[in-house]
Amino acid sequence: MPNPEQAPRAWVHTIGRQVGEEVTMHGWLYNKRSSGKVQFLQLRDGTGIVQCVVVKNEVTPEVFALCDSLQQESAISVTGEVRVDSRSPLGYELGARNVVLHHAADDYPISPKEHGVAFLMDHRHLWLRSSRQHAILRIRAGLARACRDFFDSRNFTLLDAPIFTPAACEGTTTLFETDYFGGKAFLSQSGQLYMEAGAMAFGKVYCFGPTFRAEKSKTRRHLTEFWMIEPEVAYFDLEADMDLAEEFVVEIAQRMRREFEPELTLIGRDLAVLDRVRKPLPRIRYDEAIELLRAKGCAVAWGDDFGGDEETLISQEFDRPVIIHRYPIHRKAFYMKQDPADARLALCMDMLASDGYGEIVGGGQREDNLAALERKIAAHGLPKEAFSWYFDLRRYGSVPHAGFGLGLERTLAWICGLHHVRETIPFPRLMDRLSP
């Protein structure tokens, strides 16, 4: 920054190390109040907000007049001394000696008054600057880190799955189709099939990336583009898969609780919900879930899939996430293995978050027998040719294997206690939103 008055740069998050020093801070004006002879500027630098105290007889008249005229989100640099301020939440303030204006913002559209969600979503590129959105997205970054650390520390190999795919993984009704040099490609619904190849090559792998679903549902749980973390392990059965999912969710929830208490408090999360996320997580069979729903007066038939309402009713029975396993196989994706103990069931599981947040994990054991898999592909009306490479995994050293997918945004909505997933991703893609 060209500024002759400039001192060494400070950032809000580390300002406590520079008490008594003269520093320059760069940022934007978050808020301002004045008591005539003193102006209090809230400077936001992306890592936090610091109060800058501008006293009339401690700066030039031009600087004081500038501060008087500054509007919200103007870009400024403030030079001054870092002081301890026990009254502020940060614990420090800046005694300003000089203020430099880089860009004057006029009539910033997002004011502290209430705005409707549609308005805020249309201004998502600016809304990101608000304290609440900032906190949520910092937690998101921390959650992604915690997810990676969990698997990296257990020697899983990160194996990136492709985004352009030749075939459906999670059913043909939610595929986004795109032109691929005159042919057809689909945006990936899940990296799972590629992780199965990876598990046979590396033993334990995971992918973590964006996935796409052309879901024609406008619910608070559905995005058309969301991030999923998908581990897959060779020589793994459904029980081991549930153990892994349990350990994973408990560890990431506890770590978020520990590392992001200030952010979670700022957004109003009841931390007791996260404190309760401890092993063991309850596990019930689909059949038991049906009984539970009927006991609550819900008219479900055996074989029905659970929607948001059913999931909420079930999760209300537990104080922590619950795993439901062995769903009817006819409801499930082609790759699921049949339960040898009951041909009607699949060796699969879903984890429902507590508090009515719905399914955050889906997974299970995969069909490892070639003939059975070929029958399933045909029964689901899927093109056999597109899966020829996948059949090879059952031809050359096929073994029991299992894995799951955890949706980052739904998990974040639950951890943060947010009503809708649209606030859990920087630029949400919904059925009716592709902008900004």
* Binding residues for ligand 4AD (CB under 6 A): 169-170, 190, 192, 213, 215, 222-223, 226, 228, 230, 359-363, 403-405, 407, 409-410, 421
Residue 196 CB, shortest distance to ligand 4AD, in Å, is 9
Nearer Cβ to ligand 4AD (28/335): 335
**Residue 72 binds which one of ligand 4AD, Mg ion, none, with CB within 5 to 8 A depending on kind?**
none
Q: Which residue is nearest to Mg ion (CB)?
A: 362
Nearer Cβ to Mg ion (27/362): 362
**Residue 48 binds which one of Mg ion, ligand 4AD, none, with CB within 5 to 8 A depending on kind?**
none
Residues 6+ apart with CB under 8 A from 112: 31
Residue 215 CB, shortest distance to Mg ion, in Å, is 12
Residue 172 CB, shortest distance to ligand 4AD, in Å, is 13
Nearer Cβ to Mg ion (255/331): 331
Residue 179 CB, shortest distance to ligand 4AD, in Å, is 23
Residue 362 in the binding site for Mg ion (CB under 5 A): yes
**Residue 407 binds which one of Mg ion, ligand 4AD, none, with CB within 5 to 8 A depending on kind?**
ligand 4AD
**Residue 398 binds which one of Mg ion, ligand 4AD, none, with CB within 5 to 8 A depending on kind?**
none
Nearer Cβ to ligand 4AD (12/252): 252
Residue 324 CB, shortest distance to ligand 4AD, in Å, is 12
**Residue 404 binds which one of ligand 4AD, Mg ion, none, with CB within 5 to 8 A depending on kind?**
ligand 4AD
Rounded to whole angstroms, how far apart are CA atoms 179 and 173?
Answer: 18
Residues within the interface to Mg ion (CB under 5 A) = 362
